[in-house]
Amino acid sequence: MAILKYFVKCGINPIEYREKTGEKIFEASFSSDRKRMSTVVKINGKTYSFIKGASEYMVEISSNFEDFSNGQKNPISADMRK
């Protein structure tokens, strides 16, 4: 909801933006077993996977994270998973 409200505050219609920005290829709805949802979209010829869910499950299935302070991609160590 926060992202949608932000779009509206910026004068962007989120529904129109979604329809003209990319093509949804696949969607796995949220499930209580997986504790996450996933969407695969094609935007300007590139394929992206967007996943959201409980942080402990996201760390479990991820191999890297991005350090937003410097933009570097870093591996997730075993210690980080604890």
- How many structural domains compose the chain? 1
Which CATH number goes with the domain that contains 69?
A: 3.40.1110.10
Give the range of the structural domain holding residue 64, as residue numbers without chain letter: 22-82
What confidence score (pLDDT) does residue 39 get? 92
CA–CA distance, 19 with 22 (Å, rounded to integer): 7
pLDDT tens, 2-16? 888 888 998 989 888
pLDDT tens, 16-63? 887 777 888 999 999 888 889 999 998 888 898 888 998 888 888 889
Cβ–Cβ under 8 Å, residues 36 and 51? yes
Asked whether residue 49 is domain-assigned, the answer is: yes
| Chain Cα centroid distance, residue 39 | 8
Rg of the chain over Cα atoms, rounded to whole angstroms, equals 15
Asked whether residue 48 is domain-assigned, the answer is: yes
CA–CA distance, 52 with 77 (Å, rounded to integer): 21
Cβ–Cβ under 8 Å, residues 30 and 13? no
Which residues, listed in sequence order, are joined to residue 49 by a DSSP beta bridge?
Answer: 40
Asked whether residue 10 is domain-assigned, the answer is: no
What confidence score (pLDDT) does residue 37 get? 93
Asked whether residue 61 is domain-assigned, the answer is: yes
Asked whether residue 12 is domain-assigned, the answer is: no
Asked whether residue 60 is domain-assigned, the answer is: yes
